């Protein structure tokens, strides 16, 4: 078990083993969330605004083409929900080895 010390301005240093195991580098972005009264840090990938709009346009083009070829009769909310579920599944697959196990 590694202990963290809260420093001035509430900064912490992650232990080297944790950084190495998770592949964390200087400049990486983490999301801090509370789950069952436990602080969890989740790696995040930010997309620059210019890249995001290009990626958004590409996504929209692919979605429109896919819908033309295979109509799903999905609302915009259903598409967003399906996209989020897929993103979460891919995240779980990619980081399964370092994520805390769910209690049953």
Counting the structural domains of the chain, the total is 2
Please report whether residue 2 resides in a domain: no
Residue that is written with structure tokens 């259903």 in the block: 78
Dig out the tokens for 90 from the structure.
Answer: 């891919």
Within this chain, do residues 58 and 78 fall inside the same structural domain, yes or no?
Answer: yes
Please report whether residue 3 resides in a domain: no
- pTM across the whole model: 0.43
Within this chain, do residues 24 and 55 fall inside the same structural domain, yes or no?
Answer: no
**H helix runs in 32-75, sequence order:** 49-69
What average pLDDT does this structure show over 31-56?
78
pLDDT in tens, 51-67: 666 667 777 777 777 76
Please report whether residue 85 resides in a domain: yes
Please report whether residue 102 resides in a domain: no
pLDDT computed for residue 89 by the predictor? 78
pLDDT at 102 over 70: no
Please report whether residue 58 resides in a domain: yes
pLDDT computed for residue 7 by the predictor? 92
Please report whether residue 5 resides in a domain: no
Please report whether residue 7 resides in a domain: no
CATH number at residue 41: 2.10.260
Whole-number mean pLDDT of the chain?
79
pLDDT computed for residue 69 by the predictor? 65
pLDDT in tens, 3-18: 888 999 999 999 999 8
Please report whether residue 42 resides in a domain: yes
Question: Residue 67 is part of which domain span?
Answer: 47-96
The whole-angstrom distance between residue 61's C-alpha and the CA centroid of its chain comes to: 23
Dig out the tokens for 63 from the structure.
Answer: 């979605």
């Amino acid at each position: 078990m590694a202990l963290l010390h809260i420093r001035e301005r509430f900064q912490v240093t992650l232990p080297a083993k944790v950084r190495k195991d998770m592949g964390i580098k200087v400049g990486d972005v983490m999301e801090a969330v509370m789950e069952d009264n436990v602080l969890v840090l989740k790696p995040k990938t930010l997309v620059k605004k210019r890249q995001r709009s290009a990626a958004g346009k590409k996504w929209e083009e692919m979605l429109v083409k896919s819908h033309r070829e295979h109509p799903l009769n999905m609302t915009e909310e259903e598409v967003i929900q399906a996209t989020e579920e897929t993103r979460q599944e891919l995240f779980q697959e990619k980081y399964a080895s370092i994520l805390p196990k769910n209690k049953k």
